[in-house]
Structure 1
Amino acid sequence: MSAVQTSRPVSRTMSSRDWTMLLLLGAIWGGSFFFARIAVAEINPLTLVLFRVAIAAAALHVYLAARGISFRSAFPLAGGFVLLATLNNVIPFSLIFAGQTELGAGLASVLNATTPFWTALIAHMLTVDEKLTWNKIAGIMLGIAGTAVMIGPGLLAGLGGPVWAKFALVGASLSYALALMVARRFKGVPPAVVATAQLTASTAIMIPVVLLVNGPDGLFAASAHVWAAVFALALLSTAFAYILYFNLVASAGATNASLVTLIVPASAILLGAVFLGERLEAFELAGIVLIGLGLVTIDGRLLPKR
């Protein structure tokens, strides 16, 4: 055997546990639309972002203390967490907010669903263990197509928006993809600490932004049911969800974790049908089937990997 060995770049596969976490995360983030829909009726979107990350960060600090997990491991990596917070929260939230002032929710969902595509490309260039395969390419394309089909007429109605708004949504997807590359740097840090550090940094960034843009007047003026939605959004869809998310990044890799953006619109529609009695249209069912087929193709268990 020679002293120097060459290793061929490999592509990560997902275990059954990874798929369970991915589907659960998609359901949780799909359900966040319910809470946000209630909260945004009385709270400015930027202020809602601040409350979401601040309450989640506080809850996670309590969680770490209760579990006896030290937050000190985050201090030497503070700069990296500020970068992660900027790329994973501040920039995409702001771009999505700006883009959705001009675009319909349907087109915004499809553009957001391109996150796995950008993540796969960037990971292929920057990593050795997340290389592109034909299964990934075909599965991601099927997932994006399924999202477009699922939105149906809502997508066609929103195609006429300005170009800058579409670039804003694509920019948000690129920001999420770059954030996943940054998240890979924290492999030795417990996922709960990563989630806490990111949300703490996001809170520190959002406080001056909100005070500068909206001012302090009426900051806490909201109804009781709206505050209930805010806490649900912060505790379930942010604090718990990000622990799950960073566990998934550590276990399955950045590209596989990004697949959650394909599941979120489908889960939101299914939850609406189950809990709100909303009618499922044929095109929505067809889109969900396409997304499922895309995920099966990426998994490679039913179809041979290429």
Structure 2
Amino acid sequence: MNGFIDRSRAWARFGVLALLWGSTFLWIELALDALTPVQVTCSRCVLGALTLLAACLGSGRRLPRSRAVWGRIVVAAFFCNALPFAMFSVGQQSIDSGVAGVLNATTPLWSLLIGVVTGAERGLRPSRLGGLLLGFAGVVLIFAPWRAAEPGGWGALAVVVAAGSYAVGFTFMSHFLVGKGIPTISLSAAQLVAATALTVPTLPTGGLRPIDIGPGTLIAVVILGVVATGATFHLTYRNIAAEGATDTATVGYLLPVVSVALGVIVLDEDFGLRSAVGMAVVLAGVGLTRRQSRSPAQARAKTTGGRTGRNGLPRHGLPRHERDVRQ
């Protein structure tokens, strides 16, 4: 029964994360009606940081104090927040929100590639290698470099860079921040504070333009910062702590469904045949990369009704600080 409840909670977290994360591209698109990419990036970092700081203080938690931890947080903030947030804002100036969501689904592919390069993915099976190649073929199809006259090509490239940056950030966070005895609410709040510190200095490059913003756009900016950045990022951190970086990246499977649906329904975006085929190819490739045989530890856990954590350990067998980090 406990195993069923844990799995249900995991699927619920993934579903909520996919819905919130997938809607991000809609809010960015609406925010760009009145703000520059730099202003969008800074505003979502500031609002997200304030949201999580309030949640952190309200729960009685404190921000990390160690300089070494803050150093790692700054690195994670660059790859998981500052850089991808800026790339999404720049990219969506020339591509639709639905296409941005599709391209963001390549994050699991980048995670696998990082694992191959670093040696974390050993004995790569032909099906997973084929999935990796197929997924990137889908990206090329959407990017369409042979159609150089289309301005959207560079926007697509910016979003692909953002997806790759997410993969780097997730991997770094999984190895150097989670599971160290620091509550995830403290880590996520501190990381958005660091992201704010990294992005605010970029305002002179295009963020000092006067703002003429209407009520609708203002609401979109607030939702982008408070919900799609603050709440979503904390939920992402909790998933990394509970499921690992690679499994968390697979929430990208559902992002295209949410982003495309919202783009077509709310923004009346035209989702063309090439993008649709490219989306199908990307998702097929990602699906192949996630096909893997069950490890012996996982098989034992399945027969005993337990769940496994990182390194194949049962959840209840993790050290106490590993369990506490999921708060």
Instruction: Report the TM-score, using the length of structure 1 for normalisation.
Output: 0.73
Cα distance between partner residues in 2 of 1:137 and 1:64: 42
Farther off after superposition, 14-23 or 58-67: 14-23
**What aligned pairs does 1:186-205 form with structure 2 within 5 A after superposition?**
186-187=177-178, 188=180, 189-205=182-198
Cα distance between partner residues in 2 of 1:191 and 1:121: 26
CA contact (8 A) 1:139 1:298 kept: yes
Pairing partner for 1:257 from 243, 248, 255: 248
Pairing partner for 1:206 from 193, 199, 210: 199
Instruction: Report the TM-score, using the length of structure 2 for normalisation.
Output: 0.69
Cα distance between partner residues in 1 of 2:87 and 2:48: 21
Pairing partner for 2:62 from 53, 63, 70: 70
Give the deviation of 1:93 after TM superposition: 3.1
C-alpha distance 69-159 of structure 1, shift in aligned 2 (>3 A): farther
Pairing partner for 1:40 from 32, 35, 38: 32
Match of 1:173 in 2: 163
CA contact (8 A) 1:120 1:130 kept: no
- Cα deviation code 1:253-283 (max 9, x no counterpart): 2222222334222211234566678899999
- Cα deviation code 1:197-245 (max 9, x no counterpart): 11101111211211x12364525x4222222111111111011101111
RMSD of aligned C-alpha atoms?
Answer: 4.1
Aligned residue pairs: how many? 285
C-alpha distance 49-120 of structure 1, shift in aligned 2 (>3 A): same
Pairing partner for 2:50 from 58, 70, 75: 58
Cα distance between partner residues in 2 of 1:230 and 1:131: 45
SS class of match (1:78)? helix
Cα distance between partner residues in 2 of 1:279 and 1:214: 29
Give the deviation of 1:33 after TM superposition: 2.5
**What aligned pairs does 1:1-306 form with structure 2 within 5 A after superposition?**
17-73=9-65, 76-99=68-91, 111-126=103-118, 128=120, 132=124, 136-137=128-129, 159-160=147-148, 161=150, 168-184=158-174, 185-187=176-178, 188=180, 189-210=182-203, 212-214=204-206, 216=208, 218-219=210-211, 221-272=212-263
Give the deviation of 1:191 after TM superposition: 1.9
- Cα deviation code 1:134-168 (max 9, x no counterpart): 6655666676677889x7xxx66994358876654
Farther off after superposition, 172-181 or 98-107: 98-107
Letter in 2 for 1:244: L
C-alpha distance 129-166 of structure 1, shift in aligned 2 (>3 A): closer
Cα distance between partner residues in 2 of 1:168 and 1:229: 22
Structure 1 residue ranges without an equivalent (≥5)? 1-13
Identity %: 26
Give the deviation of 1:68 after TM superposition: 0.9
Give the deviation of 1:55 after TM superposition: 0.9
Give the deviation of 1:61 after TM superposition: 0.7
Cα distance between partner residues in 2 of 1:135 and 1:16: 29
SS class of match (2:254)? helix
Cα distance between partner residues in 1 of 2:57 and 2:156: 42
Cα distance between partner residues in 1 of 2:242 and 2:121: 12
Letter in 2 for 1:208: P
Letter in 1 for 2:167: A
C-alpha distance 269-159 of structure 1, shift in aligned 2 (>3 A): same
Letter in 2 for 1:191: T
Give the deviation of 1:133 after TM superposition: 5.2
Structure 2 residue ranges without an equivalent (≥5)? 1-5, 296-327
C-alpha distance 170-147 of structure 1, shift in aligned 2 (>3 A): closer
Farther off after superposition, 110-119 or 278-287: 278-287
Letter in 2 for 1:32: T
Cα distance between partner residues in 1 of 2:127 and 2:238: 24
